Structure 1
Amino acid sequence: MQYIQRRLASVLLDAARHFPAVVVTGPRRAGKTTLLRRLFPKARYVLLEDPDIQARVRSDPRAFLDALRPPVVFDEIQNTPELLAYVRAVIDTGPRRMGQWLSTGSQEAPLMQGISESMAGRAAILQLLPFSLAETKKVNLLHGGFPEVLARPKARSLWFASYLQTYLERDVRAITNVRDLATFRRFLALLASRHGQILNKTDLAAPLGVTVPTIGDWLHILEITGQVILVPPYFENFGKRLVKSPKVYLGDSGLACYLLGLTSSAELERSPFLGPLFEGFVAAEILKSQADRGMRKELYYFRDQQGLEVDFLVPRPNAKLWLVEAKAAKTVRPPMASPLTSLQRALQKRAGRLIVVHRKSRLQVPTAAIASGVEALDLEQFVGELLATR
C-alpha cells in the first residue's frame, strides 16, 4: 500500500523542534514506527523488543547509549523503561539539542509513569491511533483502521487472529500475570458483544467464572494498551440522578467485527450489532481527531435514570459542547433529534451544535435540518466538521 500521510505528522515535527525527546504511544501496529522512520529517515533505529538489545541495556545502559549517535528512534520503549533515566542524564548535558531521542510505546499507563518520573519537561507525549476516515477513505466499519488490514483486506481474518495472539503473548503477559490466556481471549469476545453498552463488570465476570476485580484488572490492561474506549458520563450540576458508569467500546471497529464473527459487509448489514458498531466508530473518529492535533482526548455521554440519553458530548475549543447522536440508519427522521433538544434545554448556554450523524446513502439525497437547530450530517461530513476549528 502506498504511504498515507498521517495527520499527526505536523504536530510530531513541531514537537521535535521544541523538545529534546518525543514519545509516540498508541496500540500495537497502529503505524508508530513507520511514521517516525518516515519523518526522521536519518535517525538510528533501535528495536527494544530484541532480547539481545534488552540484555545490553540492562547490563550497561551508559555504554549502550554512548554507542549511539543521536537522533535515535527507540521502538517499544516500554520494554526497557529503566533506559529513560539515563536518556534524561544525556539530555541534561545538552538541553538545547531538540528532537534527538524519539520513542514509541504500546503500553500507555506504565510508560507515562516512567516519563513523568524521569523525563518531566523534557519529552513531548503524543498518541497515534489507527487510520481515521480523515486520512483515508479505505477506513470502514468492517475493516477498521489498522494499516495492514487496509493494505490487505482479503487477509483480514488471518491478520486479526495473528494480532490477537501477538497481543496476548506480548502485551498482556508483559503487564500482568494472566494465568489463563484462553479465558482472557473469551473475555475479549464477550466484551465485543457488550460493545456500546454501559459497563457492568458483574455481567462480564459471571459467564467467565472470574471475579469482578479480575474484570477490572483486565479492562485496565485493555485501556493502557489502547484496545478499548471507555466513555465516561457527563456531570454538570444536574438536578436529577444520572447513570455513573462508563460506556465501553472496542477501539477498532474491524477488531470488534472480527471478534463478533462478522466476515462480510452483508453480514454486518444484517447484524444486530450494526448500530453499536457505528456508534463506536463515531466515538473513535472523535478521539482520533483530538489525538491527531496533540489534544487531550475528551468525550462524554449523557444518560439519566428517567431514560434521557445522548450518545456523545464533545467539548470544543470555544468551550461549547457538541451534542451528537450516532445512527446507523441512512434515513434520518425527526424523532432522532428529540434527545438532543431535550438535553439542550438542560444545558442551556453550554450546548453548541446539535448533530445527528448517519450513514451515507448512495442516492446522495441531501438531508436538511431535521428539527429546529439540529443538523443531520453523514459520517464523512461529520469527520470534516471535526477537523474545523469552530
Structure 2
Amino acid sequence: MDRELTGLAHRHLTGVIKERLAEEPVLVLNGPRTVGKSTLLAELARDFGRRVLDCDDPATRAAVRNDPGRFIAGPDPVLIDEYQHVPDLLHAIKAELNRDLRPGRYVLAGSTRYSTLPEAGQALTGRVDVIPVLPLSQGEIDGRPGGLVRRLLEGAPPPPGSQPSATTRDDYARRVVAGGMPIALRRPPGRSRSRWFANYVDLVLDRDVLEITRIRQREVLPRLLRQLAARSAQVLNIAAVAQTVGMEKSTAENYIRLLEAVFMVQRIPAWGTTLGSRVARHPKIHLVDSGVMAWLLGLSPEKIAQGDPAVLSEYGHLVETFAVGEILKQVSWWDGPVTVGHFRTVAGEEIDLVLERDDGQVIAFEVKAGSRIHGEDLRGFRALKERLGDRMRMGVMLYTGDYAYTHEDGVTVLPLDTLWTEA
C-alpha cells in the first residue's frame, strides 16, 4: 500500500474518526478492499498506543473464533480489522456494550458492506456509526481534497470561475480511466495496472463474495459484473441483465446484491417518487470505482482519443460514473444527513444525482462528457424545478469544457475539475 497516497485520504478521516469516538461506542470503517482501511487502523494504533487485531490472518481468525470474548477486551479503543470474517465478534461486542456503553470503545474495519451482514442488524443496531472509506478522490490524489460539494451543502454560492480550466480532454480521460484505487495508481498505466485490476476483481469474486454465501453459479459472476459495467450510469433493468447473462431474474437480483455487499457496484435509488405519477421509480446502477469499470470495458485513454462513436458512448457513461463517485465521496465527508438519488421522468427528463439536505433544499447535478452545453441538455433541470419550486436550491451542470458560467435557465455550468480544484 502506498502510504503517501493513502495518507492523503486519511488526513481528514482521522479527524472525523476521533471526533466520532468521543460520541459513539462503536465505529465501523466500511469500504472496498485496498482503499486504506488497514492503514487507517494502523495510524490509530500508533496514536492510541494500541495493537490491531487482524482477522484477515488465518491463524488470528481461528483463535478469535474459538474465544471472541477474549479478543474484544482491553483498553479503549479496541481496533479490529476485517471483522466480518468472524461474525461472532459482533455478538461478543454487544454483550460487552450491555455492561458498558461508554463512547470510544471499538473501531472495526471491514470490506463487506455493514448493512448486508445479518449479524449486524441483530447485534449492534443503534450502537454503531458507519464511516465510509472509499477509493481516493481526485482532490486527495492531488493533495488538496476538493470542497465543492461541502460548499454547496453549506449554502454558499458556486465558485466564480474567473479562470479557464487547465484540465484537457486527455487529462480527463487519464483520470477517469485510472480511478481511485491506491495500489492501482501506483502502477504505470498499461499492462501492469491492467494485471492489478484483473487480480483485484478475481480476489473479490473468488474470496469475498463466496465468503458471504455459497453460490451455485460462480462462473457467471464475472459475466454479470461486466454486464453491470456496460450498464453503469443507466437505469437498472435486472430482467434484461439476467437474460443477457443467462440466469433467472431472482438469481441475478441476489447476485447483484452480493456485488453491492463487496463494494463492486452501488445502486442510486430513484428520488422524487412522491412528486407525481410520471416520475420513474427504478434505481440506477454504478460501478464503485471508474478504474475498475474502465478495465472491465477495455477502455483506455488511447482508445477514447480515437473518437469511435461506440467507444465515446461508453466513455460518456464512464464519465458520469466517475463524477457521481467523486460527489458521493465528498458527501461521505459531510457530517449532516443528505438523501441521495437520481431523478427521471417517464418522458426521459433526468438528473444524474440529487442531493437533498435535511431542510428539504435540493442540489441537482447533471454530468456531460462533452465540452459544450446545449439547451436540450437542461431539460431535466427544468422538469425538476417545475416540481420543486423554491426547494431547488441549485442546478449544476458539470462538463469537460473550459469555463464556468450561469446559463439563461439559471443552471450553473462548471468544468468537471471544479469538483477537486475548488478549496
TM-score by length of 1: 0.89
* Residues 258 and 17 of structure 1, relative CA distance in 2, 3 Å threshold: same
TM-aligned CA deviation for residue 251 of structure 1 = 1.0
| Farther-moved stretch of structure 1 (371-380 vs 135-144) | 135-144
Question: Which position in structure 2 is the counterpart of 1:328?
Answer: 369
Is 1:4 matched up with 2:8?
yes
* Residues 116 and 200 of structure 1, relative CA distance in 2, 3 Å threshold: closer
Letter of the aligned partner of 2:264 in structure 1?
Q
Q: Which residue among 343, 360, 385 is the counterpart of 1:319?
A: 360
Identity %: 30
CA RMSD after TM alignment: 2.4
Q: Distance in 1 between matches of 2:115 and 2:275?
A: 35
SS of equivalent to 1:24 = strand
Indicate conservation of the 8 Å contact 2:115/2:121, yes or no: no
Q: Distance in 2 between matches of 1:297 and 1:148?
A: 30
Aligned runs of 1:221-240 on 2, under 5 Å?
221-240=258-277
Question: Which position in structure 2 is the counterpart of 1:57?
Answer: 64
Q: Distance in 1 between matches of 2:275 and 2:97?
A: 49
Q: How many residues align?
A: 379
Indicate conservation of the 8 Å contact 2:327/2:419, yes or no: no
Indicate conservation of the 8 Å contact 1:298/1:315, yes or no: yes
Is 1:32 matched up with 2:68?
no
Q: Which residue among 247, 265, 286 is the counterpart of 1:210?
A: 247
Aligned runs of 1:331-342 on 2, under 5 Å?
331-342=372-383
* Residues 180 and 115 of structure 1, relative CA distance in 2, 3 Å threshold: closer
Is 1:22 matched up with 2:11?
no
* Residues 296 and 156 of structure 1, relative CA distance in 2, 3 Å threshold: farther
Q: Distance in 2 between matches of 1:31 and 1:294?
A: 21
Letter of the aligned partner of 1:185 in structure 2?
P
Q: Distance in 2 between matches of 1:180 and 1:169?
A: 12
Indicate conservation of the 8 Å contact 1:26/1:128, yes or no: yes
Q: Distance in 1 between matches of 2:353 and 2:236?
A: 16
SS of equivalent to 2:360 = coil
Q: Distance in 1 between matches of 2:328 and 2:114?
A: 17
SS of equivalent to 1:55 = helix
Q: Distance in 1 between matches of 2:346 and 2:386?
A: 17
Q: Distance in 1 between matches of 2:118 and 2:339?
A: 20
Question: Which position in structure 1 is the counterpart of 2:214?
Answer: 177
Q: Which residue among 384, 391, 394 is the counterpart of 1:353?
A: 394
| 1:25-67 C-alpha deviation (Å, 9 max, x unpaired) | 111112111112123312211111222222222222234445x
Q: Distance in 1 between matches of 2:134 and 2:276?
A: 37
TM-aligned CA deviation for residue 70 of structure 1 = 4.6
Is 1:268 matched up with 2:304?
yes
SS of equivalent to 1:28 = coil
* Residues 39 and 118 of structure 1, relative CA distance in 2, 3 Å threshold: same
SS of equivalent to 2:141 = coil
Question: Which position in structure 1 is the counterpart of 2:346?
Answer: 305
Letter of the aligned partner of 1:245 in structure 2?
H
Aligned runs of 1:93-132 on 2, under 5 Å?
93-96=99-102, 98-109=103-114, 113-132=118-137
* Residues 141 and 332 of structure 1, relative CA distance in 2, 3 Å threshold: same
Q: Distance in 2 between matches of 1:121 and 1:236?
A: 28
Question: Which position in structure 2 is the counterpart of 1:148?
Answer: 183
Q: Distance in 1 between matches of 2:238 and 2:377?
A: 30
| Farther-moved stretch of structure 1 (152-161 vs 251-260) | 152-161
SS of equivalent to 2:8 = coil
Which structure has more relative contact order (CA 8 Å, sep 6+)? It is 2
TM-aligned CA deviation for residue 256 of structure 1 = 0.3
Indicate conservation of the 8 Å contact 2:45/2:52, yes or no: no
Q: Which residue among 229, 232, 239 is the counterpart of 1:192?
A: 229
Q: Which residue among 83, 91, 100 is the counterpart of 2:89?
A: 83
Q: Distance in 2 between matches of 1:261 and 1:356?
A: 28
Q: Distance in 1 between matches of 2:67 and 2:276?
A: 60
SS of equivalent to 1:216 = helix
Gapped runs of 5+ residues in structure 2?
144-173
Question: Which position in structure 1 is the counterpart of 2:54?
Answer: 47
TM-aligned CA deviation for residue 295 of structure 1 = 5.1
Letter of the aligned partner of 1:189 in structure 2?
R
Indicate conservation of the 8 Å contact 1:78/1:111, yes or no: no
Indicate conservation of the 8 Å contact 1:333/1:370, yes or no: no
Q: Which residue among 309, 320, 325 is the counterpart of 1:284?
A: 325
| 1:79-104 C-alpha deviation (Å, 9 max, x unpaired) | 111112222333454443x4332210
TM-aligned CA deviation for residue 298 of structure 1 = 3.1
| 1:119-161 C-alpha deviation (Å, 9 max, x unpaired) | 3444322111111123223992101111111222433211111
TM-aligned CA deviation for residue 294 of structure 1 = 4.8
Q: Distance in 2 between matches of 1:65 and 1:237?
A: 45
Q: Distance in 1 between matches of 2:276 and 2:33?
A: 43
Q: Distance in 2 between matches of 1:160 and 1:39?
A: 29
TM-aligned CA deviation for residue 276 of structure 1 = 0.7
TM-aligned CA deviation for residue 174 of structure 1 = 0.9
| 1:157-198 C-alpha deviation (Å, 9 max, x unpaired) | 111111111101211101122233331111111111111121
Indicate conservation of the 8 Å contact 1:291/1:297, yes or no: no
Indicate conservation of the 8 Å contact 1:78/1:110, yes or no: no
Q: Distance in 2 between matches of 1:111 and 1:86?
A: 19
* Residues 65 and 299 of structure 1, relative CA distance in 2, 3 Å threshold: closer
Question: Which position in structure 1 is the counterpart of 2:169?
Answer: none
Q: Distance in 2 between matches of 1:346 and 1:71?
A: 48
TM-aligned CA deviation for residue 20 of structure 1 = 3.0
Letter of the aligned partner of 2:385 in structure 1?
Q
SS of equivalent to 1:134 = helix
